[in-house]
Amino acid sequence: MMIVDIKKCTGCRKCVAECFPRDIEIINQKAKIRNISCIKCGHCIAVCPANAVYSSEYDMSEVKNYNQEDFTIEADKLLNFIKFRRSIRQFKNQDVEDEKLLKIIEAGRFTPTGSNLQDVSYIIVKKRLPELRIKILSTLKQMGESYLAASNTQDGGQQTQQNTLTLPATTTAQQALYKRYAEKWISMYDEYQANPQANDRLFFNAPAIIVVTAQAAISGGLASTSMELMANALGLGVLFSGYFVRAARANKEILEFLGVKEGKDIISCLVIGYPKVRYFRTVPRKKADVTWK
């Protein structure tokens, strides 16, 4: 519940103007929050010049007063920081401190969510990472084999009992891409079995992953981006593993292993560790596709 301390409230109406759900009214020159349509976004807390608003549900000790020195980042430096980030696939044989992993999650926790649902959850895997790795690799191999079998059948091969996958209606170029993925997933599994230490092309021997789950994909996606930037600021590197997400979504056993909560989907997997590679410059990108109206 959001509450106004009437002893502090000056009736300035700033919270009324800021409240998008229109849940605040002025009574006897004091603000009153009805807590009917309130989504607990906290804008009233942030905008009140008298510090008269608080929440009975959240930890108010987390609230920080604004000062320019601690809260302002130069725009050009921020842009350069974003440009310099890279997807990391070479990691040192070095553990990532739990404190840093929790700070990364903190960046996700304070990222906006749709309607302030705060529906994002985080699963850290460290100790059981080897067990999870083989589950993912095995699933990817099965997916690859199934895809190739279905592809051969649609090309004129004989249908088998094991071939139950229907290929999507795609262009020839997309089918070629899917075929490359399928072949790669099979080779990833086979090469890992031959030499696990040298051929981990899933997690690249990183010591930890964070799986981001949410009800709304946009909420989990926004949180994931903030988390990667925090990881980079902490001297860590991140790889967003799309292969992991594909396999985990396709295998109920993996979802149960992770303990994904009911009603939530896996949005991303951040593979995290200390980079074993050094970059000297940014890289070019396509021109932005911008339309002005």
Residue 151 has pLDDT above 50, yes or no: yes
The confidence band for 160, taking pLDDT boundaries of 50, 70 and 90, is very low
> Could you tell me the two tokens for 282?
């940014």
Residue 205 has pLDDT above 50, yes or no: yes
Measure CA of the first residue to CA of the last residue in the chain; give whole Å. 42
Predicted local distance difference test score (pLDDT) of residue 150: 87
Predicted local distance difference test score (pLDDT) of residue 155: 55
The C-alpha atoms of residue 89 and residue 233 are separated, in whole angstroms, by: 18
Q: 3.40.50.620, 3.40.47.10, 3.30.70.20, 2.102.10.10: which CATH number matches 2-62?
A: 3.30.70.20
> Could you tell me the two tokens for 115?
């309607």
Give the sign of the dihedral formed by CA 63, CA 65, CA 66, CA 70: negative
Digit-coded pLDDT (tens) for 233-277: 999 999 999 999 999 999 999 999 999 999 999 999 999 999 999
Residue 202 is classified by DSSP as: T
The C-alpha atoms of residue 203 and residue 243 are separated, in whole angstroms, by: 10
Amino acid sitting at position 165: L
Mean pLDDT of 211-217: 98
> Could you tell me the two tokens for 278?
């050094």
Residue 42 Ramachandran class (φ > 0 left, ψ -120 to 50 alpha, else beta): left
Predicted local distance difference test score (pLDDT) of residue 57: 96
> Could you tell me the two tokens for 39?
């989504």
pTM: 0.91
The confidence band for 159, taking pLDDT boundaries of 50, 70 and 90, is very low
Domain coordinates in residue numbering, the chain: 2-62, 75-126+207-273, 133-194
Mean pLDDT of the chain: 94
CB 100 within 8 A of CB 236: yes
- Best CA proximity match to 107, nearest among 217, 229, 215: 229
Residue 165 has pLDDT above 60, yes or no: no
The confidence band for 92, taking pLDDT boundaries of 50, 70 and 90, is very high
- Best CA proximity match to 30, nearest among 61, 58, 3: 3
Longest dimension (CA), the chain: 81
The confidence band for 80, taking pLDDT boundaries of 50, 70 and 90, is very high
The confidence band for 215, taking pLDDT boundaries of 50, 70 and 90, is very high
Predicted local distance difference test score (pLDDT) of residue 168: 59
- Cα 65 to Cα 50, 68, 134: the distances in Å are 12, 10, 47
Mean pLDDT of 115-137: 97
The confidence band for 175, taking pLDDT boundaries of 50, 70 and 90, is confident
Residue 34 has pLDDT above 80, yes or no: yes
Residue 87 is classified by DSSP as: B
The C-alpha atoms of residue 27 and residue 16 are separated, in whole angstroms, by: 12
Residue 163 has pLDDT above 70, yes or no: no
Give the sign of the dihedral formed by CA 217, CA 222, CA 223, CA 227: positive
**Count of residues for the chain?**
293
Q: Residue 178 — φ and ψ, nearest 5°?
A: -60, -40
Beta bridge partners of 4: 53
Sole residue written with tokens 């850290």 = 124
Sole residue written with tokens 């990532």 = 96
Q: Pairing mode, if any, of strands 121-125 and 208-214? A: antiparallel
Residue 158 has pLDDT above 50, yes or no: no
Can 2-62 and 75-126+207-273 be said to share one CATH topology?
Answer: no
75-126+207-273, CATH topology level: NADH Oxidase (3.40.109)
Residue 207 has pLDDT above 50, yes or no: yes
Predicted local distance difference test score (pLDDT) of residue 169: 55
